[in-house]
């Protein structure tokens, strides 16, 4: 089984993917980690990497397609993994913009820039503004590369989970496990 998890920054995609991978005993590939490593290797932030254009996108996209082609039991977490791996069970993880920005601000404050691919935000509003610009940049790039107008349109997905008021990845994973059982996938 291949599961793809997509969504906006701060929605909890990575935490949810880790929880599901553990429960289902599946490998996990985070496209954010691939891109983060690419940024670190170049000594730049993820925003600067994203501004480099389509060459970077194509490298990251090709890598996840190659991994999916050689793994039948994997969770791939990334913005357009649903598009690149159409034979997957596609999950969209949503979050309200204020809550997403709050989560990212808190995470980066705790991280204190140690990860190296994202800057530390000065406030929740700063994080919210950065997310808004990043999503706009993503939309522009993805439209140019693949003709995708709205990469988080619910119609593209098998399951949509709103994490705005959730108690965390365990609760959300419970919902996904129930949906997988209901569909006879586990």
- Summarize pLDDT for 153-167 with one digit per residue, the tens: 999 999 999 999 998
Q: Considering its fold, how many domains does the chain have in total?
A: 1
Domain that holds residue 31: 2-164
Q: Report the CATH number that the domain containing residue 77 is assigned in CATH.
A: 3.40.50.300
Q: 3-class SS at 157?
A: coil
CB 48 within 8 A of CB 56: no
User: In the structure encoding, which two tokens stand for residue 163, read together?
Assistant: 């994490």
Q: How far is CA 119 from its chain centroid?
A: 18
Query: Is 178 among the domain residues?
Result: no
CB 79 within 8 A of CB 5: no
Query: Is 77 among the domain residues?
Result: yes
Angle at which helix 169-182 crosses helix 13-24, to 10 degrees, equals 50
Name 168's Cβ contacts closer than 8 Å, sequence gap at least 6: 12, 15
Task: Give the pairing of strands 89-94 and 27-30.
Answer: unpaired
Q: Which residues are bridge partners to 18 per DSSP? A: none
Query: Is 174 among the domain residues?
Result: no
pLDDT given for residue 114 in this prediction: 47
How far is residue 77 from each of residues 19, 88, 89, 146, measured CA to CA in Å? 12, 12, 12, 18
pLDDT given for residue 118 in this prediction: 60
pLDDT given for residue 96 in this prediction: 94
> What's the CA dihedral at 36, 121, 75, 142 to 10 degrees?
-70
Query: Is 169 among the domain residues?
Result: no
Query: Is 51 among the domain residues?
Result: yes
pLDDT given for residue 99 in this prediction: 95
Query: Is 19 among the domain residues?
Result: yes
Query: Is 186 among the domain residues?
Result: no
User: In the structure encoding, which two tokens stand for residue 108, read together?
Assistant: 């980066």
Query: Is 88 among the domain residues?
Result: yes
Nearest to 68 by CA among 90, 56, 86: 86
Q: What is the pTM of this model?
A: 0.87
pLDDT given for residue 109 in this prediction: 66
Nearest to 29 by CA among 45, 51, 57, 70: 70
CB 30 within 8 A of CB 79: no
pLDDT given for residue 111 in this prediction: 57
Query: Within the chain, which residues score under 70 in pLDDT?
Result: 108-119
Q: Please state, in angstroms and rounded to a whole number, the distance separating the CA atoms of residues 25 and 15.
A: 15
């Amino acid at each position: 089984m291949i599961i793809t998890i997509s969504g906006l920054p701060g929605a909890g995609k990575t935490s949810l993917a880790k929880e599901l991978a553990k429960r289902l005993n599946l490998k996990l590939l985070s496209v954010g980690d691939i891109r983060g490593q690419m940024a670190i290797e170049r000594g730049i932030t993820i925003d600067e990497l994203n501004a480099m254009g389509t060459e970077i996108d194509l490298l990251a996209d090709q890598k996840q397609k190659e991994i999916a082609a050689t793994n039948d039991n994997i969770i791939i977490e990334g913005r357009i993994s649903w598009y690149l791996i159409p034979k997957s069970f596609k999950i969209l993880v949503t979050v309200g913009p204020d809550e997403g920005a709050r989560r990212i601000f808190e995470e980066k404050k705790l991280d204190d820039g140690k990860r190296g691919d994202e800057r530390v935000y000065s406030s929740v509003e700063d994080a919210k503004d950065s997310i808004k610009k990043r999503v706009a940049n993503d939309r522009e790039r993805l439209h140019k590369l693949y003709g995708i107008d709205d990469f988080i349109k619910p119609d593209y997905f098998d399951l949509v989970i709103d994490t705005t008021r959730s108690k965390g990845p365990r609760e959300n994973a419970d919902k996904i496990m129930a949906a997988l059982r209901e569909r006879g996938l586990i």
